[in-house]
Structure 1
Amino acid sequence: MKIKMQDSVSFRMEFREFGKTGEKISKIGVGTYYDVGWMFLARFGRKSGSEMKIRAIRTAVENGVTLIDTAEVYGSEDLVARAIEGVDRESLFIATKVWITHLSYDSAIKACKRSLKRLNMKYIDLYQIHFPSPIGDIEGTLRAMEKLVDDGLIRYIGVSNFNLDQLKHAMEAMKKYEIVSNQVHYSLRHRDPETDMIPFAEKNGMAILAWYPLEHGDLVRDEAYPTAFLSDLRKRYPEMRASQIALSYLMEANSNVFPIPRASNPDHVLENINSVKYHLSEGEIKILKDSFRSL
């Protein structure tokens, strides 16, 4: 499939180290979770808007994004495969997740191999446990993931939606490798991770992937921000969009956070990844923290 690309944006992508892996990846990534209805229909081969979604992912990659997040349950791994056709695999950092029904030792290994087949690649950069095990058998899952590292099928092990106690338990269960990241709900309207998870991750050399960074569109409108703040900010950055404020905050207020806004529309992708060129001051970050602290 030939994809017609959007015009490139006029900025240079910025990169930061992913925890203590030594890997430098784009400060912002893209996610490929669409919605529950889409996921359900995808199980039956009905993937509406696939061409647009592929084009959106491709647009991100063509403009410097190296981090792409997906999951077996999303039904979008094959879209990622199509979007990155012809791209140097080693230049990308592909993350996917194993679902809660596949957390036993054997099931996790089989699930990873199925993901590799859908992604059409030989290895996954970051393999994540999508949610904590409902039966508490984290040890078996992590043994499987360490085996996958040994076999060269994955490079790093991560978790997703783990609270601090669950993360610490998982860390203690590791035998040979380390957990390099946790993926959590984090945005200006949902700042709970700043209380404990982000400081703990930073102290322990872990990366944080932030899902729902734009709160389903709640943070893409000027009305979400203080009027005086917007007026002063746009004296420095006249063209800065509301969505870019939300994404810039996550990157500028933290050294270990990688927002992964959804990639479903090429124009929105360009707007989102353009946020890396805006750098909020300490004063602006404080105003945002004060403005959203009770939300």
Structure 2
Amino acid sequence: MQTIQSQGIDIPRLGLGTFRMPGGDAQPVVESAIALGYRHIDTAAMYENEAAVGAAIAASGVKRSELFVTTKVWHDQLAPDALRRAFETSLNKLRLDHVDLYLVHWPARDMDMAATLEALMRLRADGLVKGIGVCNFNLPMIRKAVDEIGAPLAVHQVEYHPFLSQQPMLAYLRSHGIALTAYAPLAQGRAAADETLAAIGRKHGATGAQVAIAWLLDQPNVLAIPKAARKESQQANLEALTIRLDDEDRRSIAALPKDQRLVRPPFAPDWDAASA
């Protein structure tokens, strides 16, 4: 599995997303993925499946040092003391002595960003996390976190797929050596149904969904964490790593509409905010 290095940690470029796999539903899914060769598992306190992920890791027999585990703190737990308690709860559920990456899941409108990021940095300094990062920050927020506060972010996790541009964000992250993790990389099923992606897939003996993953991983500094509950889907996503797109493929994908943001909860930041 190819990795990206960011802030001194090596992150497998393809991971398994576990959103909407609550409770015990996640355990057999994660066990299957690890058996197939996945080494990057992405969970979150909000997913309510950290205990199942931990059980799957314990049952896998794979050395802890070979696995990369990401979890996240919810936006109502961003005060430093609350964040520390949330982290300890997640760590206990996962049955681990550290996590590889700990992320702010969503920004909160009233958060003290500096205090929140300093709490993350303390976890890192204490050896409880190897890397820290954020999710769903807009560009002004990322600039504040990095340029003003100086947080050593390893990752920014955002919605990214062939139907949504992240070019300004990518340019900023690349200039600062920060990896972008693409969630919803299959655009909630739209990639599989898109004729442009399907046509490219036929050329490569692949599916449209596999082309979407290949397109993401074709880009420097980009990771992807597609959700895949079925073993067949997990295997298909792994096989996307072997697809080599050509310039014609890239031009066809570039021509697709890039304004389809699918994840818009009421607490989301202003995605259209320009950089200061």
TM-score bracket, shorter-length normalisation: 0.7 to 0.9
Asked whether 1:166 is paired with 2:134, we answer no
State the 1:269 CA deviation.
Answer: 1.2
* Shift, 1:15, TM fit: 0.7
Please say if 1:15 is aligned against 2:2: yes
Structure-1 residue corresponding to 2:33: 60
Correspondence for 1:258 among 220, 223, 236: 223
- Find out whether 1:244 has 2:210 as its counterpart: yes
Q: Give the match's secondary structure for 2:100.
A: strand
Aligned in 2, Cα 1:153/1:23: closer, same or farther, shift over 3 Å?
closer
- Looking at both structures, which has the greater relative contact order when contacts are Cα pairs under 8 Å and sequence separation is at least 6? 1
Question: Any residues of structure 2 matched to 1:100-139 within 5 Å, and which?
Answer: 100-139=75-114
Describe the superposition over 1:133-179 as per-residue Cα deviations: whole angstroms up to 9, x where unpaired: 2203111111211111121111111000001110111124546x511
CA RMSD of aligned residues (A): 1.9
Q: Which of the numbers 91, 106, 119 marks the counterpart of 1:144?
A: 119
What letter matches 1:189 in structure 2?
Answer: F
Residue 182 in 1 paired to residue 145 in 2?
no
Structure 2: give runs of 5+ residues left out of the alignment.
261-276
Contact 1:93 1:125 in 2 (8 A): yes
- The CA deviation string for residues 40-90 of structure 1, in whole angstroms up to 9 with x for no partner, is xx5xxxx3xx35x32222222223322111111110111211221222111
- Structure 1: 5+ residue runs without aligned partners? 1-13
Aligned-pair CA distance for 1:181: 1.0
One of 137, 158, 178 as aligned partner of 1:206:
178
The verdict on how the C-alpha distance between 1:263 and 1:77 changes in structure 2, with shifts beyond 3 A counting, is: farther
CA distance in 2 between partners of 1:77 and 1:265 (Å): 19
TM-score, with structure 1 as normaliser:
0.81
Alpha-carbon distance in structure 2 between the residues aligned to 1:232 and 1:169: 39
Maintained 8 Å contact 1:55/1:266: no
Residues paired across the two proteins, number = 258
Give me the whole-angstrom Cα distance separating, in 1, the residues matched to 2:17 and 2:158. Answer: 13
Instruction: Report if the CA contact (8 A) 1:186-1:212 is conserved.
Output: yes
From 6, 9, 12, the equivalent of 1:26 is: 12
CA contact (8 A) 1:57 1:263 kept: no
Please tell me whether the aligned partners of residues 27 and 276 of structure 1 are also in contact (alpha carbons under 8 angstroms).
no
CA distance in 2, matches of 1:288, 1:29: 23
Task: Using the TM superposition, name which of 89-98 and 79-88 deviates more.
Answer: 79-88
Deviation of residue 262 (structure 1)?
Answer: 0.9
What SS does the corresponding residue of 2:182 show, helix, strand or coil? strand
Q: Distance in 1 between matches of 2:80 and 2:198?
A: 51
Q: Check conservation: 1:56, 1:269, Cα contact below 8 A.
A: no
1:25, distance to aligned residue in structure 2 (A): 3.2
Deviation at 1:293, TM superposition (A): 4.3
Partner of 1:157: helix, strand, or coil? strand
1:139–1:286 distance in 2 versus 1, CA, 3 Å? same
| 2:234 aligned with 1:282 | no
Q: How far apart, in 1, do the equivalents of 2:258 and 2:210 lie?
A: 19
Give the letter for the 1:17 counterpart. Answer: I
Counterpart-to-counterpart distance in 1, 2:130 and 2:148: 18
TM-score, normalised to structure 2, is: 0.87
Letter in 2 for 1:84: I
For the Cα contact (< 8 Å) 1:213–1:261, is it kept in 2? Answer: yes
- Quote the residue 1:292 is aligned against: 257
